[in-house]
Amino acid sequence: MADNANKLPKDAFEPLSDGSHLDNERIAAPSLTFLKDSWRRLKKNKAAMISMYILIFFIVLAFGSQLIPSVRNIATHPNLNNLPPRIPGIDIPGFNGTLVQGGQRVNAYTGDAANVHYWLGSDYLGRDLLARTLSGTRLSLIIAMVATFFDLTIGVTYGIVSGWKGGRVDTFMQRIIEIMLSVPNLVVMILLLLLFKPGIGSIVLVLAFTGWINMARLVRAQTLELKNQEFVLAARSLGQKPWKIAFKHLLPNLSSVIIVNTMLTIPNAIFFEAFLSFIGIGVPAPAASLGTLISDGQKSFQYLPYQMWIPAIVLSLLMIAFNILGDGLRDAFDPRTRE
Amino acid sequence: MVKYLAKRIFYLVLTLFIVTTITFFLMKLMPGTPLTNQAKLSPTEQQLILQQYGLDKPVWQQYLSYLANAVHGNFGTSFQFSDQPVSYLISSRIGPSLLLGFQAMVIGVLLGIVLGAFGAIRKNTWVDTTTTIISILGISIPSFVLAILLQYFFGLKLRAFPIAGWSGFMYTILPTIALAAMPLAESARFVRTEMVDVLNSDYIELARAKGLGKLGIIYHHALRNSLIPLITIIGPLAVNIMTGSLVVENIFAIPGIGEQFVNSITTNDYPTIMGLTIVYCFMLCVVLLITDIVYGLVDPRIRITGKRD
Amino acid sequence: MENKDDILEVRNLKINFNTYAGKIKAIRDVSFDLKKGETLAIVGESGSGKTVTTRSIMGLNASNTEIAGGSIKFKDEEILGKTEKELSKFRGQHIAEIFQDPMTSLDPTMKIGRQIAEPLMIHQNMSKDKALDKALEMMKLVGITNAKERLNDYPYQFSGGMRQRIVIAIALITYPEIIIADEPTTALDVTIQAKILKLMKELQDKINTSIIFITHDLGVVAGMADRVAVMYAGKIVEYGTVDEIFYNPKHPYTWGLLSSMPTLDTKSEVLPSIPGTPPDLLEPPVGDAFAARNKYALKIDTIKQPPFFKVSDTHYAATWLLDDRAPKVTPPDEIVKRQKHFKAINTK
């Protein structure tokens, strides 16, 4: 002790009497807002970030490619049909315009096709598969976004009203949901699609008609919980109007549930659109959907597998990326999984 | 419990009634009659056909007789196959669909439980990562894509299984896998989440404090508590399988009701569509009812009071 | 402090938590002993490291825990570094724990008889029937009425107080040498708290076990404990017998704790509280961690950590105020009153 004491300043045992050292309510660690904190956790999730970049890539590609006329062209060329993928400068079997025929690899680009390059090949009508796949992707994304918008508005409103009103209104609204849940979604969609004129509008409509249920249930459960919390009770007792409470107090607190569920609704909408198009009651030709492309590809996949591979891979990638990103968001928003 | 059951069955009947009613009137709004599929007919011939289908009566009479018949399992005559009653069409085709659905459900859920449990126990190891990857793939890849892939690789390339058709157990394997992927993925994910939660709970901590070993904790405490809630997603899983069966049966050319449903849609065979809609709805309601009862039987908190908290 | 009666010795325990933000130094050099049959209370605010300390004794720390040094000996047997398998033989047999929240610490899907009997079946290879008989005895002992019929009930059929009795029964069933009670009454109603504490005291006498009693509530300590250790920011700052801590406290933090506890003769309308919040243990302050909240702080508190100063054979406190060179300070009125009382007892 003694030798240590030598190093101490002379006034070491003076009281710090002025009280300036008392920083009473100082919070030592920098505080993170909920969103920042979630974002930090999402950024740490590599798979989710990669998925996000893949999705951005697809979105840019699907919409950006519309600016390039040659990629936009989906006209039929009966004399250029069923050509395998051929990318200039690449000499890998499968992408160099060759095809296995009778056990031998032969160049399919002969005659009229000698100077053509279909990067992803052409279909049975000689349409550019790259252009078709891009347009199918675009359609998937558009339909998913629009359908999700409807899910959001219908589902969130339904959930808030049901949870907020409570009592008989709630019971009645829940009964409706129960009935809708006891019919497989797809059956409802098919019945409605039979009724409407086939087209993008009808698809969006039937997707919206069945897609909101999950959102409504989650939002209702959360609203029921929030309804009885002090800050909402305070707003109510101060005479705040219900719609104002909904916007100022409920929505911000529902945001994480809504964001996460939206991210999981999107792949669902993409799936159902592709599914309906696959069984032939989706968007009518000549509009291309990934579902139609896969269905067309399946018919000839014994000899021309590339026609099925490409749309199948794109659809699967979209689904995987949306699901992983959705999972990542859920983990990021869910306080239970915080380290 | 009996009172609760009676209430549930009442709701089941009510739901079926509402669905039947809505479907009936939806179908009445549809364009096209059995006549559209036929070549040009004389007015008397047309009249005869309309009579045969009971389409000459006022709508409300058609509705009442449809309801009365539906209760007895009679859904009228198919437009597509004019000599076959819809009920026969369904009953002769429901077998393969039920078999496939049952196989897919059992295999999917069992494997899902194993995967999910291992993922949770070995959290943040390669086992867990594998579980997560399998469940993401299973949830993401659409059943029709998976079915085609299986058909391409195992049927066409490796010739390990028949490409399509329906004559024996070997023919069920690929379609079962295609249908089981989704339930497997969903239940693996569900079990993993539940089990991670359970393993973090205070009562598992207490079990550790008691001196129970890892296996004892999992076997005696963790498994039961994480598997009971799995019952609640059996209903949604059944929906998944029904949805998938529509395309999977089509791809593998299986004579089931899923394949029939798609055919009826493309041929505007409304009576069959209606019949199948009601059958699908009925099956789902029964699954939901059974899972509800089972849930009540295995969870002591519900068993006694007869209601959930 | 070496003593043959010591059943548990904790020496220089250091524990860190690895988190995304860095290393949290949760336990910073903690030492204490536990004697056979005694009750040691560990008192402190949330986050002071009480629970972490006892969790390490049980070997029940979370996976991001890093033992940075020290030793924990149960009857000369080192606990730290034991494998999970060795630990599980230890837990429930020699050391048992009573958890804080009875509402969540029982398995919701297992009959409570089986839950109480489980430790016997694990540690003593007892048959299920025999273990259930013992469980029934224990249920009667902890005061569960109609024990025989309730053996086959599930946790949700019991009230909070009854569940805590079950949790106690689970801990006692193997007659362990040490029981760790982590805030066993915090989740209960005040009226039930007293009953549970009384029950624990009675049962302790019956099976002659030692108890480590963790609490943030000094009021509970007075009637329960033989000795008290006060923890702050991952360190023990003062320890002594109950009388010494209650009536002759030396550390300003203990003063603060005692002043903020209402007594029968508290007259002022406002109960004093300790200002501020505990320090961030990611980067513990240099010097005395309590300095920033201490109005008696000396300059040296911001430079150097105080060592333990001996007050009596059983009473030690880590504050520079006890250094010979430190100025004499007058504690708060409440404490002065207590010290007078202490002198009165001791001179008798």
For C151, the token pair is: 């053996």
Which residue do the tokens 């004892």 mark? Answer: B216
Question: Does residue B17 belong to any structural domain of this protein?
Answer: no
* Position B287 confidence tier, pLDDT thresholds 50, 70, 90: very high
Separation between Cα atoms, residue A299 and residue A302, nearest integer Å: 8
Cβ within 8 Å, pair B280-A301? no
Pick the residue from chain C with its C-alpha nearest to A44: C20
* Stretch among A266-270, B81-85, B272-276 having the lowest mean pLDDT: B81-85
Distance in Å from the first CA to the final CA of chain B: 15
Minimal C-alpha gap between C236 and chain A (Å): 20
C113/C237 same-domain check: no
DSSP B246-300: HHHHHHTT--SHHHHHHHHHHTT-HHHHHHHHHHHHHHHHHHHHHHHHHHHHH-H
Question: Does residue C200 belong to any structural domain of this protein?
Answer: yes
Containing H/E element for A101? strand A98-101
pLDDT reported for residue A339: 34
Say which of B203, B211, B225 has its CB closest to residue C91. B211
pLDDT reported for residue B179: 95
Cβ within 8 Å, pair C300-A12? yes
Q: Decide which of B283 and C267 is more confident.
A: B283
Q: Does C301 touch chain A (CB under 8 A)?
A: yes
Which residues share a beta bridge with A122? A128
Pick the residue from chain C with its C-alpha nearest to B202: C105
Domain that holds residue C76: 6-225
Separation between Cα atoms, residue C101 and residue C105, nearest integer Å: 6
Question: Does residue B235 belong to any structural domain of this protein?
Answer: yes
* Position B133 confidence tier, pLDDT thresholds 50, 70, 90: very high
Q: Which of residues 247-306 of B touch C (CB under 8 A)?
A: 299-301, 304
Q: How many CB pairs under 8 A join A and C?
A: 70
C219/C235 same-domain check: no
Which of chain C's residues have a Cβ under 8 Å away from the Cβ of A14? Answer: 298-299, 327
Mean of the pLDDT values across residues B238-267? Answer: 91
Domain that holds residue B140: 89-269+283-298
Report the residue count for chain A.
339
* Closest C-alpha to C166, from C182, C185, C144, C137: C144
Cβ within 8 Å, pair B148-A301? yes
C138/C253 same-domain check: no
pLDDT reported for residue C292: 80
Containing H/E element for A52? helix A46-64
Minimal C-alpha gap between A24 and chain C (Å): 4
Burial label, B150 (beta-carbon count in 10 A; 0-12, 13-18, 19+):
buried
Question: Does residue B80 belong to any structural domain of this protein?
Answer: no
Residue A54 contacts residue A317 (beta carbons within 8 Å)? yes
Q: Could you count the other beta carbons within 10 Å of the beta carbon of residue C94?
A: 20
Residue A286 contacts residue A136 (beta carbons within 8 Å)? no
CATH number for C83: 3.40.50.300
Separation between Cα atoms, residue A105 and residue A237, nearest integer Å: 79
C215/C236 same-domain check: no
Separation between Cα atoms, residue B185 and residue B176, nearest integer Å: 14
C305/C221 same-domain check: no
Look at residues C196, C225, C254 and tell me which one is the last residue of a structural domain.
C225
C220/C284 same-domain check: no
Q: Which of A3, A13, A20, A44 to mutate to test the interface with C (most CBs of C within 10 A)?
A: A13
Cβ within 8 Å, pair B11-A178? yes
Question: Does residue B78 belong to any structural domain of this protein?
Answer: no
Look at residues C205, C225, C245 and tell me which one is the last residue of a structural domain.
C225
Q: B154-162 contacts: CB < 8 A, separation 24 or more?
A: B156/A302
Minimal C-alpha gap between A182 and chain B (Å): 6
Which of chain B's residues have a Cβ under 8 Å away from the Cβ of C58? Answer: 209
Considering chain B, what is the average pLDDT of its residues?
86
Q: Decide which of A126 and C205 is more confident.
A: C205
C193/C257 same-domain check: no
Cβ within 8 Å, pair C91-B208? yes
Q: Decide which of C161 and A19 is more confident.
A: C161
| Three-class HEC string of chain C | CCCCCEEEEEEEEEEEEEECCEEEEEEEEEEEEEECCCEEEEECCCCCCHHHHHHHHHCCCCCCEEEEEEEEEECCEECCCCCHHHHHHHECCCEEEECCCCCCCCCCCCCHHHHHHHHHHHHCCCCHHHHHHHHHHHHHHCCCCCHHHHCCCCHHHCCHHHHHHHHHHHHHCCCCCEEEEECCCCCCCHHHHHHHHHHHHHHHHHHCCEEEEEECCHHHHHHHCCEEEEEECCEEEEEEEHHHHHHCCCCHHHHHHHHCCCCCCCCCCCCCCCCCCCCCCCCCCCCCCCHHHCCCCEHHHHCCCCCCEEEECCEEECCHHHCCCCCCCCCCHHHHHHHHHHHHHHHC
Look at residues C174, C205, C225 and tell me which one is the last residue of a structural domain.
C225
Q: B147-150 contacts: CB < 8 A, separation 24 or more?
A: B147/B174, B147/B175, B147/B178, B147/B247, B147/B248, B147/B251, B147/B252, B148/A294, B148/A298, B148/A301, B148/A308, B148/A312, B148/B251, B149/A312, B150/B174, B150/B177, B150/B178
CATH number for B223: 1.10.3720.10
Minimal C-alpha gap between A331 and chain B (Å): 11
CA C126 to chain centre: 31
Give percent above pLDDT 70 in chain B: 92
Minimal C-alpha gap between C236 and chain B (Å): 25
Burial label, A128 (beta-carbon count in 10 A; 0-12, 13-18, 19+):
buried
C254/C204 same-domain check: no
Q: What is the pLDDT along chain A (339 residues), one digit of tens a residue?
A: 444 445 667 777 777 766 656 654 454 555 567 777 788 888 888 889 999 999 999 999 888 888 777 666 667 777 767 777 777 766 676 666 677 766 677 676 666 666 666 767 777 776 777 888 888 899 889 988 888 888 888 999 999 899 888 888 998 998 888 888 888 888 888 888 888 877 888 888 888 888 888 889 989 988 888 888 888 888 888 888 877 887 778 888 888 888 888 888 899 999 999 999 898 888 887 778 888 888 888 888 777 777 888 889 999 999 999 999 988 888 888 755 433
Pick the residue from chain A with its C-alpha nearest to B289: A182
pLDDT reported for residue A320: 94
Which of chain A's residues have a Cβ under 8 Å away from the Cβ of C283? Answer: 28
Which of chain B's residues have a Cβ under 8 Å away from the Cβ of C105? Answer: 202-203, 205-206
Which of chain C's residues have a Cβ under 8 Å away from the Cβ of B213? Answer: 85, 88, 122
C197/C121 same-domain check: yes
Mean of the pLDDT values across residues B136-164? Answer: 89
Question: In total, how many domains does chain B have?
Answer: 1
Q: Does A19 touch chain C (CB under 8 A)?
A: yes
Q: Does A3 touch chain C (CB under 8 A)?
A: no
Q: What is the pLDDT of residues B215-231, one digit of tens each?
A: 889 999 999 899 988 99
Which of chain C's residues have a Cβ under 8 Å away from the Cβ of A44? Answer: 20
What number is the ipTM of this complex? 0.86
C302/C343 same-domain check: yes
Say which of A8, A14, A22 has its CB closest to residue C276. A22
pLDDT reported for residue B25: 86
pLDDT reported for residue B161: 86
Instruction: Reduce the DSSP state of residue A291 to 3 states and report it.
Output: helix
pLDDT reported for residue B141: 93
Cβ within 8 Å, pair A184-B152? no
Q: Decide which of B97 and C282 is more confident.
A: B97
Q: What is the pLDDT of residues C312-343, one digit of tens each?
A: 999 999 988 888 888 888 888 888 888 888 88
CA dihedral (A108, A112, A117, A119) positive or negative? negative
Listed in sequence order, the residues at least 6 apart from B201 whose beta carbon sits closer than 8 Å to its beta carbon are B225, C104
For B276, the token pair is: 């199948």
C236/C209 same-domain check: no
Q: What is the pLDDT of residues C228-280, one digit of tens each?
A: 999 998 899 999 999 899 888 989 899 888 888 777 666 666 777 777 777 87
Pick the residue from chain B with its C-alpha nearest to A272: B142
pLDDT reported for residue A1: 42
Q: Does A25 touch chain C (CB under 8 A)?
A: yes
Q: Which of A182, A189, A292, A317 to mutate to test the interface with B (most CBs of B within 10 A)?
A: A182
pLDDT reported for residue A126: 67
Question: Does residue C1 belong to any structural domain of this protein?
Answer: no
Question: In total, how many domains does chain C have?
Answer: 2
Asked if the model's pLDDT at residue C221 lies above 90, the reply is no
What subunits touch chain B, counting only 3 or more CB pairs under 8 A? A, C
Question: Does residue B192 belong to any structural domain of this protein?
Answer: yes
Pick the residue from chain C with its C-alpha nearest to B210: C92
Which residue do the tokens 């409807």 mark? Answer: A150
Say which of A12, A22, A44 has its CB closest to residue C293. A22
Count of alpha carbons within 13 angstroms of residue A191, beta-carbon side: 27
Say which of C276, C279, C298 has its CB closest to residue A14. C298
Region of residue B9 (phi > 0: left; psi between -120 and 50: alpha; otherwise: beta): alpha
Count of alpha carbons within 13 angstroms of residue B86, beta-carbon side: 25
Q: Does A11 touch chain C (CB under 8 A)?
A: yes
Minimal C-alpha gap between B126 and chain C (Å): 17
